[in-house]
Chain A
Amino acid sequence: MNTSRRQFLKSASAAALLPMPAIAQSAGPKVVVIGGGFAGASAARFIKKANPAINVTLVEANPTFTACPFSNGVIAGLRPLRAQQFNYEKIADAGVSLAFQTATEVDAQGRSVTLRNGTKLPYDRLVMAPGIDLRWDGLPGYTERDADIMPHAWKAGEQTLLLRSQLESMADGGTVIISAPANPFRCPPGPYERASLIAHYLTTNKPKSKVIILDAKDSFSKQRLFQNAWAQLYPDHIEWVSLSKGGKVNSVDAATKTLKTDFGEHKADVANIIPPQRAAAIAQTAGVADRSGWCPIDPVTFESKLVPNIHVVGDAGIMGGMPKSAFSANAQAKVCATAVTTLLAGRTPVEPRLINTCYSLVAPDYGITVAGVYKPNNGLLTDIEGAGGVSPIDAPRENRALEAQFAEGWFKTITGEVFG
């Protein structure tokens, strides 16, 4: 990176918009990417890589990215938050312009994005990867302010540290309650990995304590694998209450850390509320989200089914069989990047195949996975039959240890590809 660019980056929060040096601006097509997570940062980088003549601007509010995958390890005291944090220097080095700003408006007719500071960014194609918003209207009694008392920790960062510190201050014998939402939501196995790693912390540090999962569902991702492992590792430390057993939380009271279900009230010492979610607000503003709150897309190009010239990748999208995972987001972004550059060149993208791989840790040396291979079918990304699925239920413990090692390798690999 040259000195002027480095200085631009250093003054990023003040300057907000980092224009490329004038010399690098070409008359090439303009692509704007909204959102610098796994999906958006991958899309920006791979579009620039596929065709350096394209002017790519990545719009992201926060100059530091804090990754959600592995953040349950931070909550359990297994790794520091800084191991989750990445910056955008290498992406800038690759020739992507960075605007550390919030996108406030999208003019789909005039093809421009307006930033909070008033800057207008024109585009030929827009890639939206805004991620999720927590629905503050989704669970009675749970407002944004209540998250200071009952953290969601579903966006990594301060919330992750808050939940960690609450677990550390809890007396032995305490009850940790996790409220898990109905589908769809970000990281389907996440609540259960979290319960597992919290139980790991409790068994070693506060053995008289326990974790209760109050669930708005009757089944969940990798369920048999988790339950099998819990029976082995945490028989007295995890209790899962399904929807049909009265697990759905209808309302909460932050002042008393009480969670109410149809069947009664649960008083928590530490309450982790994972509320219902939808595509982030800018997706609703741009008109790419439907009444479900999520964004329907064409499974070949990831172009919105509602608004032309806007593509959607990552957690905000309706991705058929693909779960809202970082692996999926990255895989979708790379296919979308090829589609965008192909379309800008006036050609037709070929039908893609995509993979998802999703690791969960039940303990530091106990990993399990779900994988899938997907293709477009009837306008949706659909599981290819006979492929994918979860780790074998009867796999020996050595395999669980291997999968835990591969999980660590995966995190290094994907964060290296996107931010390194």
Chain B
Amino acid sequence: MECKYDKNRIINMLESNPSAEEKREIMEHVEKCSQCKKLYNTFYLLGEYYEKVDFKLSQKCSDYIRNSINKELYNEKRFSRSVVSFIYQNLKVIKTSAVLAALFIVIFAGVLNRDNISKFVVSSDAYKFFAGLSDKNSIGIPGVTPGQDEIQSATNEYFDESKYITSDNDFLSIIEGNDRLLLRINDIYLHCTNTNSFKIMESEEVYFRDYQGFLSDDGNIVYYNTNVHYDAGKLLYYDIKNNTYGDLLEEMNIEIPGYVSLISYKSDRIIILVGGYDNNNSGIETDTLIEIDLKARKHKTIKLPFTPFAAWVYNGLCYYGDNIGILCSFKELEGSNQLLVILDKDGNILEEIPIHEDNMMCNISSSPDGSKFTYQTGTTPTDLYLYDLKDRSKKMIFPPESPENKEMCIMSMWGKESGNLYYVTYKSSESSGDEYRLHVVKPATEDS
């Protein structure tokens, strides 16, 4: 029978220096499990071999190297060599200085001759960068008047609008076309189109059920992932028309080897990242994805070509077009240790995208075309960022909560039809109580 013991613990023990107690616990298992003992012996032997066995290059080879080099190389042209060496060693400084010098010349020339420099700016791509300087093509960002903050307005290629969510439904006007939104307000969900909004899932069950929710494209079903222990192994849904709840996995006779850790939805497909438990019954990551075809009522298992180790967590799952993206983070280290791994439908790795972010990323949500995704950071996220997979750039959409800014971003989702990004912010106000605001972020067009 296959032993389920976490093999990484055995190898980690050999690579690092764990506590005596941990070592004793691992060795107790190793001693009584033949599989793990073999693994331990193998890696132990390998470690000994790499550490103790000496490799010596033969004298013949060493002499060959000595005789093959051109001994006069650094005697000749010493001056030119030293200049080249200086350039190589100071390449960064030289490059930066050259750019600064060029910039200085351009600006200096501009000061001397404003007419000519404006012609230069208008005729080149640099115009886009200085967009905030001109009325034409300036970008409409609330609170930023043209020319006030050139860099900020120039780098923001999006048009942002927001309205308070109130019972008069005035906020619905910012929902574009046939976009349908599932907004979480307090402990209920609002199903919104640009003409109508109504509350759904108004049962006590909803109180805990705020982990992940997806509205089907036809707007009839909400699939949601509670990630609470008594829902382990279930994928719950709410049928809006019939006001009924159900467990999709039970209805389709799908047994998963663990619990539903993360889900993602895309046009009649749901993908589940299966979580497992370790010996202490704590949640751990696994290498199993289950994809459900809702139309054909079929499912398939996709094995990831990697399995995580103890310090590695999955913080996001999303469809990117037809592909699947898994966000992996390393919980023992801070900053720049997160990777978005893009897989094809069979689980083969297509791309690995390292993402520099000081805090742990979470709550990722991809745009309908799969070219961008939003994410939040930290354990109690209040911010929102947009990451562009094409140019690997990130943009802060909403700042984290701070003493000055008491508002926080609580959710985001994409308009399936328009491709707009919608997000909700929340602020507690002493005078007016809880305030929720719906924002829309649209790619800037000529009109905007």
Partners in one complex: no
Interface residues of chain B, those whose CB is within 8 Å of chain A, are: none
